[in-house]
Amino acid sequence: MIPHSIHWLVGSLVWIGGIYASVSVRYLDFSGGHTVCGPWGCGGTIEDLTAMHAAWAVVMMPPVFFVIRGKRQFGRWSLRIGNVALLSAIVVFLAVVMHTLLVWIPSTPEHLRGYYWQRIGFVIANMVDIPLIQLAIAGIAIRIANLGPRSVRRVLEDA
């Protein structure tokens, strides 16, 4: 049997390697140096955005796995952690919507105001300092993991 400390050491090394690999994606050239641009603005290169979103996903994997795996030890806190993650993502999304509505639209020429939803998508895609997408996925994953087998069956039967 492998000691518990070896599991943690190997897991930590794999996690660090995953972060390094995801950040290294920025050195690949799969967009020819193009950026995300349109009438709603210009952002970073596709490689940079992919690298940062992937890095956030890798950073968040161990805590999410730990919460899902240890839901019996966490009890109801596991569901609360999932709710907080999902609610945080929703609040940040609403803040982006409100900022776009209150700041971007009034300062934008009339013919560009129809790009409201594209602008919101653009801001979220370029938001690499806040893991909005990853928080939402983590919250949903934790909430799904906290459903009991009967709840999952009911959801699948209703679909």
Measured in degrees and rounded to the nearest 5, phi and psi for residue 106 equal: -65, -30
**pLDDT for residue 101:** 92
Comparing CA positions, the residue from 145, 158, 129 lying closest to residue 43 is 129
- Tell which phi-psi region holds residue 50, choosing left (phi > 0), alpha (psi between -120 and 50) or beta: alpha
- Show the low-confidence residues of the chain (pLDDT under 70): 1, 31, 33, 148-159
Q: Please, what is the Cα angle at 121 between 47 and 140, to 5 degrees?
A: 90
Burial class (CB in 10 A: 0-12, 13-18, 19+), 142: buried
**pLDDT for residue 52:** 93
**pLDDT for residue 68:** 86
**What distance in Å separates the CA atoms of residue 25 and residue 52, rounded to the nearest whole number?**
9
**Chain segment 95-115, per-residue pLDDT in tens:** 999 999 999 999 989 988 888
